[in-house]
Amino acid sequence: MAYRNLAKKSRRGPTAPMKRFIDLETKNLNSEVIKTTNSFSDEIKTISSFSTDHPLTNSQENQKLNQYENKVKGRFDNIVPLLKRVSSLQNDLNFVERAQNLCRSELGYELPLHILEKAWVGSIDISALFAWCVFQSHQLTSNEFFNSDPIEGSENSQYAKSFQSFLYQCGFHLLDITPCADGRLAHAISYALRIPFSSVRRRSHAGALFDIEKTVNRWIKTEHSRYRESTPNSATEPTRYLKSVIYHFSSVDPTHQGCAAHGSNDELAASEGLQRLLDFREAVENSFCCGASVDLLLIGIDTDTDAIRVHTPSKTNEVDLKSWVCANEIYKETQFLKAEEALQKIQENIKRVCPGETDPNMVMFITRLISNNISQIDYVKNFHSGSYQDAGHAERFIGVGIGFKEVHLRNLTYFAHLETVEQGAPDLDVGVKIFTGLNISRSLPIPIVIRFDYSGSVPHARNRALSDCHRINEAIKSRYRDLIDNGSLHTFLTIRDRDKKAPAEVVGSSLDPVTQEAH
């Protein structure tokens, strides 16, 4: 992103806001603040251009991210108004042509002919058209994401490269984050924490309760790469695997809009998230010798304001569930300070809530998270009146399977990360329940995008991903037979070669025309 390269450009002839930040580095701050500030220097942020923004806020980045959010969500939100117009045309003699022209010019794609052509017989199947439009919108967004890296988080981006160095400076060779699968956390990485998506392993799970055995396997793969290939760094370097959990709560309606998996009970969400982290560490420590371990970080997020709370772990990995540093409070405490003073305050707060001796590397990392999150607090202030209108669920589709690297927008996708419906049915049932309220109550169907990522370098892996897609599709058809039968649930099957970093490939849909078999 051009705006992320301002730091370098600025050095050749700094802009006014840039100069203010560079001044930070020359001031007589204590050494740790300087260390933290230095670590930011490569992708230093431009300081607020909104007069009310916090001095640490990257206002230009906020503008760009808002444009992206508006563009993508606009695609989905334009569907209903357009289909109302299509509906009003259905008795027109030139209906098909007029509908296609309208859709092409307003949404950028056509409607399926085999559905439009049936309109003259009875009434048009608007429900099927709605699902079609959702799937097309998803596909356009997905293609754009893999083709042009609109939020500039791919591993080739400058931002990702510099963030990766920052991670090493903090002593971490891998960052593995599990947010709750709730659609209101789908933007947690790229927006709320401003971490380039390629710098983090994201595995969303209901209640942030990740699978221990699978995460241990992921840890093994990472360590094996370090030993064999020195990727991301050599196993001889004393860096750590950082596993983080993001639980969530609601400041506006705490008893109803918190985490459904924990009955909107914040304390439970935090304690179960921490327990899962501790269990993971114990699994690694018990299963491997030679001091094998991981670092842990527990984060909470307010789904109304996107403000995070971080439970600072001590040097010996103690975590206090009742003690955290809250980005929102820090925001208020520091909004009228200079940037360097604000950073210092952040560090003080981080240290204050630590239940033991602090680890300077961890403090540096959390300082970055809080500082990044301050931009997001201003994002929500500026573009969502300080608190999201859609306090509850407002996802546009359900994503089922393995993948969806491209989803980074709040309330775009309810994600059921699963390999089989048999294992993932509870998560999927919650998704169907949510969409019964969101869509079926408005006579609109539930759109489900199925995705299986595969590794193209493994022989026949594409075929297996294809079979997985169809297997899941059949399992969904069997589990939600009534919804399928009355056209209230549609599926869209996609696979993606993660080695090629190419867009996903569409391999089927419940909206495909039924081919008559010859007799």
| Residues acting as catalytic residues | 182
CB of 457 to its own copies, least distance (A): 4
- Given the complex with its own copies, which of 255 and 463 has the nearer CB atom? 463
CA atoms within 13 A on the CB side of 470: 7
Give strand ranges (E) for 97-230: 172-179, 201-202
- Residue from 88, 286, 389, 515 binding its own copies (CB under 8 A): 286
The torsion of the CA quartet 281, 283, 286, 292, rounded to 10 degrees, works out to -50
Is 303 buried (19+), middle (13-18) or exposed (0-12) by CB count in 10 A? buried
Nearer to its own copies, 240 or 338 (CB): 240
Nearer to its own copies, 106 or 419 (CB): 419
Tell the smallest beta-carbon distance from residue 212 to its own copies (Å).
6
Near its own copies by CB under 8 A: residue from 234, 255, 323, 457: 457
458 binds its own copies (CB under 8 A): yes
Task: Please choose, out of 51-59, 77-85, 155-163, 459-467, the segment that lies near its own copies by the rule CB under 8 A.
Answer: 459-467
Whole-angstrom distance, CA of residue 218 vs CA of residue 169? 22
Contact 124, 483 (CB under 8 A): no
Minimum distance from CB of 17 to its own copies (Å)?
Answer: 44
**In whole angstroms, what is the distance from residue 445 CA to residue 466 CA?**
24
- Note whether 75 and 394 are within 8 A (CB): no
Confirm or reject binding of residue 208 to its own copies (CB under 8 A).
Answer: no
Question: With binding defined as CB under 8 A, does residue 229 bind its own copies?
Answer: yes
Listing DSSP states for 45-98 in one string gives PPP--STTS-TT--HHHHHHHHHHHHHHHHHHHTHHHHHHHHHHTTTSTTHHHH
Instruction: Confirm or reject binding of residue 423 to its own copies (CB under 8 A).
Output: yes
Beta carbons of 396 and 404 less than 8 angstroms apart: no
Q: How big is the site for its own copies, counted in residues (CB under 8 A)?
A: 36
CB of 282 vs its own copies, minimal distance in Å: 5
The reply on whether position 223 binds its own copies by CB under 8 A is: yes
If one asks whether residue 455 binds its own copies (CB under 8 A), the answer comes out as: yes
506 binds its own copies (CB under 8 A): no
Can residue 282 be called a binding residue for its own copies (CB under 8 A)? yes
Candidates 120-128, 214-222, 370-378, 402-410: pick the segment binding its own copies (CB under 8 A).
Answer: 214-222
> What's the Cα-to-Cα distance from 508 to each of 75, 209, 384, 466, 494, rounded to whole Å?
22, 31, 37, 10, 7
Using rule CB under 8 A, residue 429 touches its own copies: no
Going by C-alpha positions, the residue among 431, 424, 430, 425 that lies closest to residue 446 is: 431
Q: Do the beta carbons of residue 298 and residue 319 sit within 8 Å?
A: yes
CB nearer its own copies, residue 329 or residue 474? 474
Listed ranges 26-34, 111-119, 345-353, 453-461: which one lies at the site for its own copies (CB under 8 A): 453-461
- Confirm or reject binding of residue 481 to its own copies (CB under 8 A): no
Q: Which stretch binds its own copies (CB under 8 A): 95-103, 150-158, 244-252, 417-425?
A: 417-425
Q: Are strands 295-302 and 240-249 parallel, antiparallel or unpaired?
A: parallel
Write out the two tokens for 375.
């931009």
Task: Let me know: does 185 contact 208? Beta carbons within 8 Å.
Answer: no
- By CB under 8 A, tell whether 77 contacts its own copies: no
Is residue 517 at the binding interface for its own copies, with CB under 8 A as the rule?
no
Interface residue list for its own copies (CB under 8 A):
212-213, 216-217, 220-221, 223-224, 227-229, 235, 278-279, 282-283, 286-290, 292, 419-423, 455, 457-461, 464, 471, 475
